[in-house]
Amino acid sequence: MTVAERSPHMTDGTVTERRDVVVVGGGQAGLAIGYFLAEQGRHFTILEAAEQPAAAWRARWDSLKLFTPARYDTLPGFAFPGEPDRYPTRDEVAEYLTDYARHFDLPVELGSRVRSISRTSGLYLVELDDRAYEAEQVVVATGPFQVPRVPPIAERLDPEVLQLHSSVYRSPAAIPEGAVLVVGGGNTGFQIAEELSASHEVHLSIGSRQTPLPQRFLGRDLFWHLERTGLIYKTTASRIGRRMEGRDTLIGSNPRRLRRRHGVQLHGRAVDVDGSTVAFSDGTSLHAATVIWATGFGVDHSWIDVPVFDADGRVAHRRGVTEAPGLYFLGLTWQHTRGSALLGWVKDDAAYIADRIAAFEPEAPIGAQRREPQAA
Ligand SMILES: Cc1cc2nc3c(=O)[nH]c(=O)nc-3n(C[C@H](O)[C@H](O)[C@H](O)COP(=O)(O)OP(=O)(O)OC[C@H]3O[C@@H](n4cnc5c(N)ncnc54)[C@H](O)[C@@H]3O)c2cc1C
């Protein structure tokens, strides 16, 4: 029997294949679950939209260095190479993830964007442009930073001002002369502002202050302390975990240093735009030649046609396990702990989901349940 004949879902011209598990997304989360699925000997595939491995990392700015040292950048079973206390570059991470998939011979299918996931008669149908898969279980590992977020005032900015989201920023060489306004007081905004300050007049708009944490103190890296104190393992079920979740942190930067050492001028929240002038909540305003929106990302799960979202479109889950039998998420920010969306700790959630996958009992198909004898 051909694969196509087996499928009840086949549409014209679509070949449907069968797997035990389909993983959507081939970044670090997809590869980490892939490691455990391979260990279990499962028949699975990892569908990755991009044509190249480690797409998210390759798309980040050129000079990006990790805030986690190499010793904390290891996925399960294959150590991040080199000196453990250095902070690897973007390109090293891309190389490591590429090597990781190769090392374990993980079945990553590049150029395979999933267009929809739906569920009928106990099986998931995972549809791409040119083919579809059926699976009992699906892991969505499409990343915590998907859709660039820009505030509505951006629309009113005069076209003479160059504006771009931080996800498009690569290096100072591509930024024209003149004052640059970076909007966003998170790690990305601070790092881009600092980098540009060597060649440009730079302004940084900070909407809400994040708690600055030094990269190193008492001779050790921040993440060493988070491990040692157990804070990195505090879950969203604990009080301290919830407090940490609600408080974004700025690692290795702080406003004073940026102003004093790098000459970056600080402003309050960007609240209005009039032509080419941006007004801030502290009453100041600026005419900038370039505006870089380091205002974060949202997620888009609108292509998942399974009722596992709350009224605000957020995934309803417990540690990545949803109410839909066999549907899991992996790599969400604070999925379980601060480490959930970090290279070195995603393995804990991946191992947990792999255990759920192993313990999964498929529902009996409708009509196949055993009938209890009727009482006389
Ligand atoms: C600027 C920046 C710096 C960071 N620095 C660090 C750091 O120093 N240390 C650290 O541990 N973490 C860091 N992170 C956090 C985290 O490690 C990364 O965001 C990481 O890329 C998340 O991995 P992921 O696999 O969950 O998602 P991603 O890397 O985003 O991978 C998801 C993959 O899914 C694919 N995809 C999406 N939709 C579909 C679809 N419909 N069908 C098929 N494929 C799809 C995408 O192409 C992508 O390859 C940083 C994040 C950012 C933004």
Tell me if 66 CB under 6 Å of ligand 1: yes
Q: Which residues make Cβ contacts (< 8 Å) with residue 365, sequence separation at least 6?
A: 121, 122
What Å distances lie between residue 230 and 223, 240, 351, CA to CA?
A: 10, 11, 19
pLDDT digits (tens, 9 = 90+) for 265-285: 999 999 999 999 999 999 999
Output the pTM of the full model.
Answer: 0.92
Q: Output the CA 23–ligand 1 centroid distance in Å.
A: 14
pLDDT digits (tens, 9 = 90+) for 292-341: 999 999 999 999 999 999 998 999 999 999 999 999 999 999 999 999 99
Q: Output the CA 158–ligand 1 centroid distance in Å.
A: 32
Tell me if 55 CB under 6 Å of ligand 1: yes
Tell me if 29 CB under 6 Å of ligand 1: yes
pLDDT digits (tens, 9 = 90+) for 218-269: 999 999 999 999 999 999 999 998 988 888 889 988 999 999 999 999 999 9
Q: Which residues make Cβ contacts (< 8 Å) with residue 358, sequence separation at least 6?
A: 40
Write down the pLDDT at residue 10: 43
pLDDT for 191 beyond 90? yes
Share above pLDDT 90 across residues of the chain, in percent, rounded to a whole number = 85
Share above pLDDT 70 across residues of the chain, in percent, rounded to a whole number = 93
Tell me if 167 CB under 6 Å of ligand 1: no
pLDDT for 110 beyond 60? yes
Substitution candidate for ligand 1 out of 68, 145, 221 with most atoms within 8 A of CB: 145
Q: Where does the chain have alpha helices with state H?
A: 3-6, 28-39, 55-58, 90-103, 187-196, 222-228, 239-245, 255-262, 346-359
pLDDT for 174 beyond 70? yes
Write down the pLDDT at residue 245: 87
Q: Output the CA 47–ligand 1 centroid distance in Å.
A: 14
Q: Output the CA 278–ligand 1 centroid distance in Å.
A: 31
Hey, whose CA ends up nearest to atom 17 of ligand 1? 342
pLDDT for 70 beyond 70? yes
Tell me if 145 CB under 6 Å of ligand 1: yes
pLDDT digits (tens, 9 = 90+) for 349-358: 999 999 999 9
Higher pLDDT, 16 or 353: 353
pLDDT for 9 beyond 70? no
Tell me if 335 CB under 6 Å of ligand 1: no
pLDDT band with cut points at 50, 70 and 90 for residue 364: low
| CA atoms of 122 and 139, how far apart (whole Å) | 16
Mean pLDDT across the chain: 92
Q: Output the CA 376–ligand 1 centroid distance in Å.
A: 61
Q: Which atom of ligand 1 is nearest to the CA of 47?
A: 43
Give Cα 60 to chain centroid, integer Å.
12
Tell me if 49 CB under 6 Å of ligand 1: yes
Substitution candidate for ligand 1 out of 45, 167, 333, 343 with most atoms within 8 A of CB: 343
Write down the pLDDT at residue 371: 42
Q: Output the CA 146–ligand 1 centroid distance in Å.
A: 8
Write down the pLDDT at residue 13: 39
Tell me if 45 CB under 6 Å of ligand 1: no
| CA atoms of 71 and 77, how far apart (whole Å) | 13
Write down the pLDDT at residue 14: 65
pLDDT for 365 beyond 60? no
Write down the pLDDT at residue 293: 98
Backbone Cα Rg of the chain: 23
Tell me if 241 CB under 6 Å of ligand 1: no
Q: Which atom of ligand 1 is nearest to the CA of 72?
A: 11
Hey, whose CA ends up nearest to atom 24 of ligand 1? 143
Q: Which atom of ligand 1 is nearest to the CA of 29?
A: 25
Hey, whose CA ends up nearest to atom 38 of ligand 1? 142
pLDDT digits (tens, 9 = 90+) for 56-68: 999 999 999 999 9
Q: Which atom of ligand 1 is nearest to the CA of 346?
A: 26
**6-20, 43-57, 82-96 — which is least confidently predicted?**
6-20
CB 262 within 8 A of CB 193: yes
> What SS3 string covers 179-240?
CEEEECCCHHHHHHHHHHCCCCCEEEECCCCCEEECCEECCEEHHHHHHHCCHHHCCCCCHH
Write down the pLDDT at residue 8: 43
| CA atoms of 91 and 95, how far apart (whole Å) | 6
